[in-house]
Amino acid sequence: MLASFFLSTTAFSAELRIGDESSYALSRHSASLQNAGPGLTLAQVLMQSDQFNAPEPHSVSATNFGLTQDEVWLRLSFKTARMLPERWLLEVGHASLDNIDLYIAEQTAEYHHEHAGDLLPFSAKALKHRHHLFELSLKPDTEYSLYLRVNSQGTLSVPVTLWQPDALWASDQLSYSFLSLYYGLALGLLIYNLFLYFSLREKLYLIYVPFVAFLAFGQAGLAGLVGQFIWPDNALLTHLSPTASVSLAGLFGAIFVQRFLAGTPRSMKMHWVMPLIGVVYALTFLCTVFVSYFIAAVVVNLTSLVFAFTALIMGGVSLYRRHPGARFFVLAWISLLLSILVMALHNLGTLPSNAFTANALLFGSAAEMLLLSLALADRINSIQHAQDQAQQDALAVNREMLAALRDNERLLESRVAERTLALEAANVQLQLSKQLLEQQANHDALTGLANRKLLNDRLEGALLRAKRNNSSFALMMIDLDWFKAINDQHGHQAGDRVLIEVAARLKASLREADTVARVGGDEFVLVIESVSNHAALSVIRHKLSHAVQQPIHLTDGIWVSIGMSIGVAMYPDDAQDIELLVSVADRAMYSAKPLPPMSAR
């Protein structure tokens, strides 16, 4: 079986020779087999050597299979030179791969097996590194065969590099320097925006803070830093962190875009898009934690594509309309969205895996931070320039005013005195007008009684006082009997005279603190406070009826008498809210309606 493997790889085994170079990119020399069925054993794979896809030696990208649940096998053979270091490190440079199995053998010897992956806690790794490392001891002038079995719920990108330990250490220093710079920028931006929020109380900054925080945390998960520094003993949280964090970042990002672009989505009839995208991101977070990491990873990448295109379109419209403060801020957002687009296409397998595509979000978000700083600086500079210009204008106006004051001091004094008198007179007139307007707004024009608006205010006040003092008040509704006949027989002026006289008699029969209101043609409403019982109310009712039923003089020799129907409701005995009190009193009033004709003499 092993002999058949070496025969099948003769065509390309000579192309890879391991010597004394510091590192070797092995991905481009690896043949691949993608298995969508049940997991294969090494023995089964060795029997299917003719099913492998040939390697692409001239490709500069790593082997990137996108988002897939398939099992992927990589096959590689190489020969060592006569002189080479013994100790080497095989790096699989994608931290979020779930399971990695290495099988390596020299010539016809038995295969040696090692296991790695992000489902293994960082603390359990033999070699403590943010990526997956396997230590190899290579003999000179020896041919080796190597298989890698990889599967993952996330993006299946397998960049494989063989390093001398010192070279890997030097490469790590460079990558950690870049990551330190990135997270330093992110931390600075978080703190700065928090200070801006506490200073300005602008919620936009508070929304931006968790967006950047979760985005940076998701990048830390992809880079292997979460398992290394935050949860070294918890493989599950390390495994979930990339997609879960990006989902939360997308949720806050959608809210941020909706608020920042303000009226643009509404004017484009797209005000529903960002809230919908935010809901999808929230569901992908829940799906990541409770349902399926793979489904969530697919959805979050597709949603990020839609998010990127939609936000770019809205941002372009906002720039076209020259919205204040949008120039640098939208440019900053565009840089981040473009990086999200590249990342999503990479994760879906559309773009190859290389240093740019694998770290596009790092580059884009770093550029976004710098552009945002420029936006804030431009904003501060614009405000300062406007303040300086306003100060210069104010100084010029002050100089002109001083010159005018010197030339016209005496004239101005007399005019000021005249103006003061005029203002005082105008103020008096204004107060009178205000009082008149208040009178007209709250009182009936014909009778001078309270109108419906003032009645409602008085009713609410009476209800509050009654509740506070645990007291009662009465509501009377009065409708004049036979008023229409008087109005039809003697004319509208006679009807108005009757209404005025009735209003005066009602008001004279009550206390100053009670309310008499006219709410319709011949309808009146009375609010009588501090009435203890229905007996006291009956006395008041009799007094009112007696006063109104006295003859009314219209013109020479014409007197009329008029009756009234009274409906009474008492708080809290009959009802405990205004609407029900009115209803009870209204029904009582119509029940009391008599049917005799008008009397006149």
CB 8 within 8 A of CB 49: yes
Looking at residue 598, its pLDDT comes to: 44
Q: Where in the chain are the domains?
A: 2-163, 176-381, 452-591
Question: Residue 75 forms beta bridges with which residues?
Answer: 31, 147
pLDDT band at 595 (very low <50, low <70, confident <90, very high): low
- 548-565 pLDDT, tens per residue? 888 988 877 788 888 889
- The Cα 467–Cα 371 span in angstroms is 61
Same fold, 2-163 and 452-591: no
Enter the pTM of the model: 0.59
Which region among 165-169, 309-313, 578-582, 587-591 has the lowest average model confidence (pLDDT)?
309-313
CB 39 within 8 A of CB 71: yes
- The Cα 24–Cα 22 span in angstroms is 7
- 53-74 pLDDT, tens per residue? 887 655 545 577 877 888 999 9
> How far are the Cα atoms of 60, 330, 366 from residue 371, in angstroms, in the given order?
31, 9, 9
The more confidently predicted of residues 13 and 323 is: 323
- The interaxial angle of helices 165-200 and 360-407, nearest 10 deg, is 30
Compute how many other C-beta atoms are within 10 angstroms of the C-beta atom of residue 397. 10
Half-sphere exposure of 238 (CA within 13 A, CB side): 26
Q: Which residue in 393, 522, 574, 577 is the catalytic one?
A: 522
Looking at residue 402, its pLDDT comes to: 83
Domain topology for 2-163: Immunoglobulin-like (2.60.40)
Contacts (Cβ under 8 Å, ≥6 apart) of 336? 364, 365, 367, 368
pLDDT (mean) for 220-224: 88
For the chain, the distance separating the N- and C-terminal CA atoms, rounded to the nearest angstrom, is: 133
- The Cα 567–Cα 585 span in angstroms is 5
Which region among 195-209, 293-307, 423-437 has the lowest average model confidence (pLDDT)?
423-437
Phi/psi for 233 (5° steps) reads -105, 0
pLDDT (mean) for 369-397: 70
Looking at residue 346, its pLDDT comes to: 63
Can 522 be counted among the known catalytic residues? Answer: yes
Long-range contact pairs involving 171-174 (C-beta distance under 8 Å, separation at least 24): 171/23, 172/129
The H-assigned helical ranges of 56-202 are 165-200
- 256-285 pLDDT, tens per residue? 888 877 777 788 878 888 899 999 999 999
Q: Which two tokens stand for residue 428?
A: 């008096």
- 444-472 pLDDT, tens per residue? 888 888 888 888 999 999 999 999 988 89
pLDDT (mean) for 195-205: 79
Task: Select from 389, 383, 394, 522 the least CA-distant residue to 446.
Answer: 522
Q: Is the pLDDT of residue 400 over 50?
A: yes
pLDDT band at 433 (very low <50, low <70, confident <90, very high): low
Which superfamily does CATH assign the domain made up of 452-591 to?
Reverse transcriptase/Diguanylate cyclase domain (3.30.70.270)
Q: Which two tokens stand for residue 418?
A: 């005249």
- 501-537 pLDDT, tens per residue? 898 999 988 888 889 999 888 899 999 988 878 888 8
- 14-44 pLDDT, tens per residue? 468 888 899 998 888 888 888 877 788 898 8
